Amino acid sequence: MDVEELEKELKAVANPDDAVAMKAYMKNKFEFLGVKTPARRKLTKAFFKQQTDSVIDWDFINETWSNSYRELQYAALDYLESRKKLLTPSDLPRLKKLAQTKSWWDTIDFLDRLVGSI
């Protein structure tokens, strides 16, 4: 999946005023585009339908996670949620790496639920 295309789609629905508020809420730890959760999930749901095979695209996850905008990290989590039935114990080291990188309560809580589903 094309991370640049996803970022472009997110930027098209972004609100700079919301970005300022979102960044402040997260103690200025992360950059935001200003895309609220309902809009992001609607957009990512349609975007993820591009992948029809039954594997997890870890390249996509790693690329979105390394992006400077928090919404792309959230998109990685949305993607993992959509593929959680495919997660196996062999994915735990990858999930641990995500938890140890750019971690904050918002991502840790989500990753914790994914690990629990394994």
What SS3 string covers 43-101? HHHHHHCCCCCCCCCHHHHHHHHHCCEHHHHHHHHHHHHHCHHHCCHHHHHHHHHHHCC
Mean pLDDT by 10 residues, the chain (118 residues): 93 97 96 97 90 88 97 96 94 96 91 93
pLDDT in tens, 66-78: 999 999 999 999 9
Domains of the chain: 3-117 (1.25.10.90)
Contact 13, 43 (CB under 8 A): yes
The CA distance from 36 to 38, in Å, is 6
pLDDT at 74: 97
Question: What pLDDT was estimated at residue 49?
Answer: 86
Q: What is the pTM of this model?
A: 0.92
